[in-house]
Structure 1
Amino acid sequence: MAEDTRTQDSGADREGRYGPYESMTVERAGHVAEVTLTGPGRGNAMGPAFWAECPRVFAVLDADPEVRAVVLTGAGKHFTYGLDLPAVAPSLGPVLAPGAQAKERTEFHDLILAMQEAASAVERCRKPVVAAVAGWCIGGGVDVITAADFRYASADARFSIREVKVGMVADMGTLARIAGIVGEGHTRELALTGRDIDAARAERIGLVNDVYEDRDALLAAARAAAQEIAANPPLVVHGIKSVLGHTRSARIDASLRYVAAWNAAFLPSKDLGEAMAAVFEKRTPEFTGH
């Protein structure tokens, strides 16, 4: 194995294209880039900075001829706790306010479409993306890893399509992509219950390809796979990604547009307000169907 020359990108490279970023770091060893989610929310939670920065980061990696494959992981014990609800709550305020009309709903629709670009940028990146998941991967984390080319996990990984528990229809990409990975039955079970599954179940249903003993073994495997990809002819690799994505891209785009329109129309509810209040008050929500 070649000497690891991984150095954190501080924005000081010769073209100034990388970072610094608030929600992630970008490092490169040879032809493999490593993107690490860092928060700043607890458990690498995805606040406004993540949704703004992720499309920029993956556009840069896509355009960089030195990058041929990407490893996507989380800092510390967890991949991500998902959407940082307290941090994004102010963005939801106008559409949840009594008397919200077409203006507020249109602006919220635009916000959803913009946030969807985070996972879509991962999927569109012509450089294959290997997701390495340790610890919790909740909500928005599942949106992102289902947009990766394939996924590995450590034995302590846990996954949850948690949005139903907080009064939301998952709208950042999971529902558009995961059925093609795990099938309709598992998709409906996980999305409708919001239950947590462990790494062993994730491997059985095909959400992850392999499970490794711990985070170190996980990262070693993900980096090795990325290096193996990077050793192949880059134009051919791009072609494989393009062909594999061609037949499903229209279906995914249509699903993303539909869920954005659905949530702009129907997300505002007493149940969502109750879910947000329960998060802030650290209690179990009581949903009424209003």
Structure 2
Amino acid sequence: MGDAYESLTVETEDHVALVTLTGPGRGNAMGPAFWAELPVAFAALDADPDVRAIVLTGSGRNFSYGLDLAAMGGTLAPVLAEGALAKPRSEFHTTLRAMQGAITSVADCRTPVIASVHGWCIGGGVDLISAVDIRYASADARFSVREVKLAMVADVGSLARLPLILSEGHLREIALTGKDFDAARAERIGLVNEVLPDADASLAAARATAAEIAANPPLVVRGIKDVLDEQSIARVTSSLRYVAAWNSAFLPSKDLGEGISAMFGKRPPEFTGE
């Protein structure tokens, strides 16, 4: 069985679904199609009794460059307008909550999800892998919670879910600096379960674990995930609601415009706190 979307592909074999990010933005960047299709795909997988485990990976040389700023610029434009009032902020809040919901569809999927990360996993890519159950990486994988470099508070999942995965000191260091870190550090701090030599080996490890899960009684597997999720769901939900309101109020700034301009201009930003 195979289903095709614009931003991802889904193939199912032996009770394991393989979801592959395909772009269309460079580096599997997350544009409008991704945010619209991800929850549809995961709702279908959740409802499919033939699927007992899901593997999530990226096509090409990278997992994901994160938010496709060029394609999603229209989302930010009304809020960045000088003196943006309640209406554009409210519309931005609605859009942001829908984007959060797209990532949450992965976390809420009753079927376990295993990520295989290779190459870059930046910003929205980290939001996405923070929503899965198990993570593997290739030795060349590189990670960054880079939103701070653009004068943004990460708002679609990283700051809500990474506290359940990482210790406080490591989380604050990577979120407050926006630094890049490699697969070895990701394994050391517990972001990934294991680092494999290359992308193929990482995917093979994810598939092997998925096969082990798929061989177990499916209702019990769902039960284990449900009981584990119960311990954190209220906390995550509250955090997502809070950051959506926070960013709708405080995201617009001269620094945001400067951060985006500097990124596209490939130059160091000069932030002023305005």
TM-score in terms of structure 1 length? 0.93
Alignment correspondent of 1:272: 256
Alignment correspondent of 1:24: 8
Alignment correspondent of 1:14: none
- Asked if 1:236 is matched to 2:236, the reply is no
- Where does structure 1 differ by over 3 angstroms across 4 or more consecutive aligned residues? none
- Residue type at the aligned position of 1:192: L
Give 1:30 shift. 1.4
- Asked if 1:150 is matched to 2:134, the reply is yes
Residues 1-290 of structure 1 mapped to structure 2, 5 A cutoff: 9=2, 18=3, 20-290=4-274
Q: Comparing 246-255 with 95-104, which one deviates more in the overlay?
A: 95-104
Q: Deviations over 1:170-189 (max 9, x none)?
A: 00000001111111111101
- Residue type at the aligned position of 1:197: F
On the 8 A contact 1:86/1:280 being kept in 2, the answer is no
Percent of counterpart pairs with the same letter? 69
**In structure 1, distance between residues paired with 2:134 and 2:45:** 18
SS in 2 for 1:182: coil
Give 1:75 shift. 0.2
Give 1:282 shift. 2.6
Q: Comparing 130-139 with 176-185, which one deviates more in the overlay?
A: 176-185
**In structure 2, distance between residues paired with 1:39 and 1:116:** 19
**In structure 2, distance between residues paired with 1:135 and 1:72:** 14
On the 8 A contact 1:72/1:129 being kept in 2, the answer is yes
Aligned residues between the structures: 274
Give 1:242 shift. 0.3
SS in 2 for 1:178: helix
**In structure 2, distance between residues paired with 1:196 and 1:32:** 32
Q: Deviations over 1:210-255 (max 9, x none)?
A: 0000111111111010011000000000000000000100000000
**What root-mean-square deviation, in Å, do the aligned CA atoms of Structure 1 and Structure 2 show?**
0.8
**In structure 2, distance between residues paired with 1:146 and 1:275:** 24
TM-score in terms of structure 2 length? 0.98
- Residue type at the aligned position of 1:58: F
Give 1:276 shift. 1.5
The unaligned stretches of length 5 or more in structure 1 are: 1-6, 10-17
SS in 2 for 1:137: strand
**In structure 2, distance between residues paired with 1:203 and 1:98:** 43
The unaligned stretches of length 5 or more in structure 2 are: none
- Residue type at the aligned position of 2:161: R
